[in-house]
Structure formats: structure tokens, C-alpha cells
Amino acid sequence: MKRLWIALALLAALLCGTLLHTWSLRGFTQNLTHSLEQAQELTRADRWEEARTVTQEALQTWRGRDVYLHVLLRHADTDQIYAGFQETLALLDSQEYGEYAAANARLITQIELLSEAEQLTLKNVF
């Protein structure tokens, strides 16, 4: 009987850890996407330097959680998002709105999909 309670306690701890991770990741990714959307609004207003600053701050936020992200998420996904940030910053330098908007939209989608993939849903479990 004691083993059963220990097993249940371990399962409960894993569930709580999973829920905490998904909650934290959702907030983190929402902040990043908000920043990238704000940067896109700045480029529409022809404020490219401010958009670059906002994007760099979002990248620094991403880098601040680099170890956490690499431990708990697929490396391919995190590497692809990092590459997306680099592409977006390069296009901000060239000030090509069409290409920048497409790259930024791709980056936002990748970040949103990363969060969605970690949610505890039937679609992700099965």
C-alpha cells in the first residue's frame, strides 16, 4: 500500500510540474509575440530603429531562458526560433518591409506553436 501512495505522489508531482511548465511557457511566449507584434507596428510607422531595439530585447529575453528552453524543449525547435530572430534582425537592417513582415510572422507562428505543443491537451497526449 505504501508503494501505491509513493507512486501516486510521484505522479501528482509530475502533473504539477507539467502544469507549471506549460503555464510559465505560455506567459513567456505571449510576451515574446507581443513584443514582435509591437516591432511590426513600429516598422509600419517607419520607425525601424525602434523596431530593431524591441526585437533585440525580445531576443535577449529568449536568451535569458536558453538553458531552461534547451532542457525542456526540442533543440530543433529552439534553434529554429533563434535562427528566426537572426533572420528578422537582418531584415530589419535592410528595411525591406515585405520580407521582414513575412519573417516576423513566421517567427511569431513558431513561438506560438512551441507553446501550443507543450499544452496538456488531448491532441498533444494522443
| CA-to-CA dists, residue 30 to 22, 62, 79, 111, angstroms | 12, 12, 19, 9
Least confident segment among 11-15, 31-35, 80-84, 107-111 = 11-15
Residues 45-89: tens digit of each pLDDT: 999 999 999 999 999 999 999 888 888 888 888 999 999 999 999
- Taking the C-alpha atoms of residue 43 and residue 89, their distance in angstroms, rounded to an integer, is 12
Joined together, the cell numbers standing for residue 94 give 535592410
Q: What is the DSSP letter of 120?
A: -
Q: If 0-12 CB within 10 Å is exposed, 13-18 middle and 19+ buried, where does residue 111 land? A: buried
Domain boundaries, the chain: 25-125
Q: Which fold has domain 25-125?
A: Four Helix Bundle (Hemerythrin (Met), subunit A) (1.20.120)
- 3-state SS assignment for residue 95: coil
pTM for the model: 0.85
pLDDT value at residue 33: 96
